[in-house]
């Protein structure tokens, strides 16, 4: 959600894009949460983030580290002394986007002596110092576990040397760093609860770019969430590549914390704080988690449950470690314990050796699961992954795209039907902004993560308010309604 969201859970807008590669759209500029006094900071940084929510959350850690060093954020490239791109490697297209963006910085480099360009995140980790050879304009390459070394690397780069740190860590979680919220609507925020991934899905580059899975100290997650709530935030999304395998040992008290327990602890901060999470691996989400969601009204009834494929042979080649039968049973269990739960997914078309019959199994599992939304991609071979080593990328691109289009078309109808079923119902919406299409309308999301818009009129509503909205119409991406009451 894999999602985003990014701005956050802009994910709802991204979901609307269907199969369109949305990495470019996930970029976000620093929003200047810093004091806007040009004399307050000796230098300025510009940061742009791509990829998943975890990258956006990391950029907020980076902003915090840089502020400590006297850097202020700027949205103006011309004002920047340091340009940072926090990058994604998940598909080839994501990396192409970064390379294109880098070329656009050349003119700023030419104009401003000493301007530094740094590449952070997954592409930095994947390509390491090779990136410096390939992209001459880049001064610094910094992997996701090396952000604490930014001040030293900047100093090094200021002397004219190229600076690189791509060491992965087994224990870095940045638990003690208070992120500075960038691009924030002051309503929703991300809280990272773990880093890395141990799953080794054969198509996926993430275990190589993010390293081993590790869970963050539960006390620091709690403290960050309380702090956000006290600052007026109304919604937090707990983030990890595989949140259901969260496990933290409180050594002094000889007490372990599971994801279900963490969810409960965060939900108990206040009934006015909405709690979301992403992403769940179908093999790991437990009944305990489902019962915890059902127990607390402020834990949203929404689960992102990536299926990837509906065919058992392909699932095995993907190393997803579940079968279609297991997956369907999980969907049934979710609907049994949380009857009104929204479910979204990720799907890849055209994985190695996928036949037309295999593809039909994916269509069938979509119809069975009745997803509210889906992020849909065609397979993009990533160097170094298990699939790239073991299997031939043998489905022609036009077939991959044709199957993807079918998947998108099916999802269009599933999303539309799901929304049509909501017409006539009243939902509690958390208002998180104005409608992009028409500023006479408020925009917000319901418990199931669906976007709802309604006319502002003279009700005195403001961002961060919870309001009840009666739905009277819909598109496949949006519920359209009218304000009922606070």
Closer to ligand SAM by CB, 220 or 385: give it: 385
Residue 453 interacts with, from ligand SF4, ligand F3S, ligand SAM, none (CB under 5-8 Å by kind): none
Indicate whether 15 belongs to the interface with ligand SAM (CB under 6 A): no
Q: Assess contact for 270 and 247: CB atoms under 8 A.
A: no
- Among positions 18, 118, 207, 310, the unique one binding ligand SF4 when judged by CB under 6 A: 207
CB of 52 to ligand SF4, least distance (A): 9
Q: Assess contact for 432 and 444: CB atoms under 8 A.
A: yes
Q: Which of 211, 213, 208, 199 is nearest to 126 (CA)?
A: 208
Binding to ligand SF4, residues 241-260 (CB under 6 A): 241-242
CB of 279 to ligand SF4, least distance (A): 7
Q: Assess contact for 371 and 343: CB atoms under 8 A.
A: yes
Q: Assess contact for 378 and 403: CB atoms under 8 A.
A: yes
Indicate whether 279 belongs to the interface with ligand SAM (CB under 6 A): yes
What is the secondary structure of 437-471 as a DSSP string?
A: S-TTEEEEE-TTS-EEEEE-TTS---TT-EEEEEE
Q: Whole-angstrom Cα distance, residue 244 to residue 249?
A: 15
Q: Assess contact for 194 and 240: CB atoms under 8 A.
A: yes
User: What is the total count of residues that contact ligand SF4 (CB under 6 A)?
Assistant: 10
Residue 380 interacts with, from ligand SF4, ligand F3S, ligand SAM, none (CB under 5-8 Å by kind): ligand SAM
DSSP letter (8 states) at residue 282? T
Residue 444 interacts with, from ligand SF4, ligand SAM, ligand F3S, none (CB under 5-8 Å by kind): none
- Among positions 215, 245, 311, 380, the unique one binding ligand SAM when judged by CB under 6 A: 380
| The residue count for the chain | 486
* Residue 104: its H or E element: helix 92-104
Indicate whether 301 belongs to the interface with ligand F3S (CB under 6 A): no
Q: Assess contact for 46 and 82: CB atoms under 8 A.
A: yes
Binding to ligand F3S, residues 197-216 (CB under 6 A): 205-206, 209-210
User: What is the total count of residues that contact ligand SAM (CB under 6 A)?
Assistant: 19
Indicate whether 166 belongs to the interface with ligand SAM (CB under 6 A): no
Tokens of 107: 């003119």
- Among positions 14, 15, 47, 52, the unique one binding ligand SAM when judged by CB under 6 A: 52
- Among positions 11, 27, 59, 89, the unique one binding ligand F3S when judged by CB under 6 A: 89
CB of 147 to ligand SAM, least distance (A): 19
Q: Which long-range contacts (CB under 8 A, 24 or more apart) does 268-272 make?
A: 268/296, 269/222, 269/225, 269/226, 269/229, 270/229, 270/298, 271/297, 271/298, 272/229, 272/234, 272/298, 272/466
Indicate whether 371 belongs to the interface with ligand SAM (CB under 6 A): no
Residue 207 interacts with, from ligand SAM, ligand F3S, ligand SF4, none (CB under 5-8 Å by kind): ligand SF4
Q: Whole-angstrom Cα distance, residue 149 to residue 324?
A: 44
| Residue 196 φ/ψ region, left for φ over 0, alpha for ψ in the -120 to 50 degree band, beta for the rest | left
Helical H segments across 234-298, by residue range: 259-267, 287-295
Closer to ligand F3S by CB, 56 or 442: give it: 56
Closer to ligand F3S by CB, 89 or 165: give it: 89
Residues that bind ligand SF4 (CB under 6 A): 197, 199-201, 204, 206-207, 241-242, 281
Residues that bind ligand F3S (CB under 6 A): 51-52, 54-55, 88-90, 121-122, 205-206, 209-210
Residues that bind ligand SAM (CB under 6 A): 2, 52, 90-91, 203-204, 206, 241-242, 279, 281, 306, 308, 346, 348, 377, 379-380, 382
């Amino acid at each position: 959600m894999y999602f985003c969201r990014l701005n956050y859970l802009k994910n709802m807008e991204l979901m609307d894009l269907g199969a369109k590669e949305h990495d470019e759209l996930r970029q976000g500029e620093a929003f200047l949460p810093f004091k806007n006094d040009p004399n307050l900071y000796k230098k300025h940084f510009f940061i742009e983030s791509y990829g998943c929510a975890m990258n956006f959350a990391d950029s907020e850690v980076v902003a915090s580290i840089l502020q400590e060093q006297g850097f202020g954020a700027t949205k103006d490239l011309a004002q920047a002394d340091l340009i940072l791109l926090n990058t994604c490697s998940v598909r080839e297209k994501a990396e192409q986007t970064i390379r294109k963006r880098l070329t656009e910085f050349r003119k700023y480099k030419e104009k401003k002596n000493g301007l530094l360009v740094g590449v952070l995140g997954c592409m930095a980790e994947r390509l390491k110092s090779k990136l410096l050879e390939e992209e001459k304009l880049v001064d610094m390459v910094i992997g996701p576990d090396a952000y604490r070394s930014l001040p030293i690397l900047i100093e090094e780069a200021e002397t004219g040397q190229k600076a690189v740190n791509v060491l992965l860590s087994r224990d870095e979680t940045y638990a003690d760093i208070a992120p500075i919220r960038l691009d924030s609507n002051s309503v929703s925020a991300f809280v990272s609860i773990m880093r890395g991934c141990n799953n080794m899905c054969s198509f996926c580059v993430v275990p190589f770019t993010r390293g081993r899975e590790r869970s963050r100290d539960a006390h620091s997650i709690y403290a960050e969430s309380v702090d956000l709530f006290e600052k007026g935030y109304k919604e937090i999304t707990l983030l990890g590549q595989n949140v259901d395998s969260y496990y933290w040992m409180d050594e002094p008290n000889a007490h372990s914390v599971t994801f279900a327990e963490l969810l409960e602890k965060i939900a108990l901060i206040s009934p006015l704080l909405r709690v979301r999470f992403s992403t769940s691996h179908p093999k790991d989400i437990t009944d305990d988690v489902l019962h915890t969601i059902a127990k607390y009204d402020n834990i949203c009834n929404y689960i992102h449950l990536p299926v990837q494929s509906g065919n058992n042979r392909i699932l095995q080649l993907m190393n997803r470690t579940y079968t279609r039968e297991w997956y369907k049973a999980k969907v049934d269990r979710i609907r049994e314990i949380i009857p009104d739960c929204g479910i979204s997914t990720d799907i890849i078309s055209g994985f190695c050796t996928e036949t037309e019959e295999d593809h039909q199994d994916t269509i069938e599992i979509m119809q069975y699961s009745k997803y509210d939304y889906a992020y849909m991609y065609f397979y993009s071979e990533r160097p170094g992954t298990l699939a790239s080593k073991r299997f031939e990328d043998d489905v022609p691109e036009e077939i991959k795209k044709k199957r993807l289009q079918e998947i998108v078309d099916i999802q269009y109808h599933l999303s539309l039907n799901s929304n049509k079923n909501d017409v006539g119902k009243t939902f509690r919406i958390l208002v998180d902004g104005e409608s992009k299409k028409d500023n006479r309308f408020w925009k917000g999301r319901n418990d199931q993560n669906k976007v709802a818009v309604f006319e502002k009129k003279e009700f005195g509503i403001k961002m961060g308010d919870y309001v009840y909205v009666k739905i009277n119409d819909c598109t496949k991406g949006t519920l359209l309604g009218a304000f009922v009451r606070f």
